[in-house]
């Protein structure tokens, strides 16, 4: 393939080896691509697929998302993480219904103006929905170009990002925009992987500077280390006489924003003090470890029963009781769902 351009080599490879059976490719509409691209932000394809399929089954079009409550959308997102994506998606659906005749805009600029859609994601939607060439610079493509051009520096910096954007623009084909976008992402996901890349099978290895210089492992430069915060806190699993469990909505800002959660003392105020409960009336349960990008949590669950408490519990505006047929349908953080599934069964 030495006499072919980068895009020609890539498309020839993709026609034989690329991922052509992803659920958002059949049919490949603007709405379906939009949902997929938002879910794929910082999340791998294999993780996204089951969430995507459930989401599309519940919300087959943009109008159904806009008509749903935020809770309904978050419930389908529960466990996928980065929940601001779901809240922004819901907001964007409402804007599209109000300002764009219940459809996604047809230009990258208008798409990028919607909540949760950056320029690269806007281009990915535009390219795949309308088969137009457009620069897409997700993590996989950044890694491919960083190696292909031996670009020094971490791609997260504005300087390196701009350099990679210009390089990607220069490589764009004039036709088959949708296939080229998918091929670019597939190359990074399947061959030009972060570790143990399969360079021998790469369709553009004959021009890859990092490969030719035997420096593939040097590119892209690693992200500066994130300081992992250790955090330990209590969560209360409190049941009432009907077997319902007390949940409270998290603040919109911060961890698990807008989701329903078990009451916790991670806001600086001890749980027992906040709810007026004597800790001696609560049963400690085995701890649960949960890892976020920047935080390692140790959740210490406490089990209680209102009927056995000396004092009653008054719910705030952000708290409510949910039965065993209700809470599974809520947007819940993954560790909260784990605790409820383990300790609250059929209302007992």
Give CA 129 to chain center in angstroms. 21
Tokens (6 digits) for 163: 């350099």
| Tokens 């004597």, residue located | 278
Catalytic (active site) residue 37: yes
- 177-190 and 6-17 are packed helices; what angle lies between their axes, rounded to 10 degrees? 70
Q: End-to-end CA distance of the chain, in Å? A: 65
In the prediction, which pLDDT does 269 show? Answer: 72
In the prediction, which pLDDT does 288 show? Answer: 96
In the prediction, which pLDDT does 294 show? Answer: 87
Q: How far apart are CA 252 and CA 272, in angstroms?
A: 23
Tokens (6 digits) for 144: 């491919």
Positions of the chain with pLDDT lower than 50, given as ranges: none
In the prediction, which pLDDT does 346 show? Answer: 52
Strands 295-305 and 229-239: parallel
Q: 88: which residues sit within 8 A by CB, 6+ positions away?
A: 38, 115, 116, 117
Of the candidates 80, 86, 77, the residue with the CA atom closest to the CA atom of residue 47 = 80
Render pLDDT for 55-93 as a digit per residue (tens, 0 to 9): 999 999 999 999 999 999 999 999 998 999 999 999 999
Paired residues of 235 in beta bridges: 264, 301
CA distances (Å), origin 213, targets 121, 148, 193 = 32, 11, 18
Count of beta carbons in the 10 Å neighbourhood of residue 129: 20
Q: How far apart are CA 139 and CA 340, in angstroms?
A: 35
- 158-171 and 139-148 are packed helices; what angle lies between their axes, rounded to 10 degrees? 80
In the prediction, which pLDDT does 266 show? Answer: 66
Selecting among 37, 200, 281, 341, the annotated active-site residue is 37
Q: Give the H/E segment covering residue 301.
A: strand 295-305
**Contacts by 149-153, CB closer than 8 A, 24 or more apart:** 149/209, 150/209, 150/210, 150/213, 150/215, 150/218, 150/219, 151/219, 151/220, 152/219, 152/221, 153/220, 153/221
The per-residue pLDDT of the chain, averaged, comes to 93
In the prediction, which pLDDT does 274 show? Answer: 79
Q: In terms of pTM, does the model score above 0.75?
A: yes
**Can you tell me whether residue 119 is helix, strand or coil?**
helix
């Amino acid at each position: 393939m030495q006499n072919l351009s980068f895009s020609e080599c890539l498309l020839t490879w993709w026609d034989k080896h690329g991922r052509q059976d992803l659920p958002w490719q059949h049919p490949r509409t603007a709405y379906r691509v939009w949902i997929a691209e938002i879910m794929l932000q910082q999340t791998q394809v294999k993780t996204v697929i089951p969430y995507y399929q459930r989401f599309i089954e519940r919300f087959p079009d943009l109008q159904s998302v806009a008509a749903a409550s935020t809770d309904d959308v978050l419930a389908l997102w529960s466990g996928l993480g980065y929940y601001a994506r779901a809240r922004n998606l819901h907001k964007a659906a409402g804007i599209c219904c109000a300002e764009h005749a219940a459809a996604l805009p047809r230009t990258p600029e208008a798409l990028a103006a919607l909540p949760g859609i950056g320029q690269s994601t806007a281009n990915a939607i535009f390219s795949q929905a309308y088969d137009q060439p457009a620069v897409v610079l997700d993590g996989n493509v950044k890694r491919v170009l960083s190696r292909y051009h031996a670009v020094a520096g971490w791609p997260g910096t504005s300087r390196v990002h701009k350099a990679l954007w210009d390089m990607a623009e220069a490589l764009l084909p004039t036709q088959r925009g949708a296939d080229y976008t998918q091929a670019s992402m597939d190359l990074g996901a399947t061959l030009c992987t972060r570790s143990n890349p399969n360079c021998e099978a790469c369709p553009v290895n004959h021009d890859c500077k990092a490969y030719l210089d035997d420096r593939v492992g040097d590119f892209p430069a690693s992200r500066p280390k994130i300081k992992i915060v250790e955090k330990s806190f209590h969560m209360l699993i409190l049941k009432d006489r009907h077997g319902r469990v007390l949940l409270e909505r998290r603040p919109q800002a911060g961890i698990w924003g807008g989701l329903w959660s078990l009451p916790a003392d991670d806001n600086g105020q001890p749980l027992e003090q906040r709810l007026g409960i004597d800790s001696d009336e609560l049963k400690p349960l085995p701890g649960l470890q949960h890892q976020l990008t920047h935080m390692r949590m140790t959740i210490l669950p406490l089990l209680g029963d209102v009927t056995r408490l000396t004092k009653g519990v008054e719910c705030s505006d952000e708290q409510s009781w949910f039965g065993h047929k209700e809470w599974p349908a809520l947007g819940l953080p993954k560790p909260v769902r784990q605790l409820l599934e383990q300790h609250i069964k059929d209302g007992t």
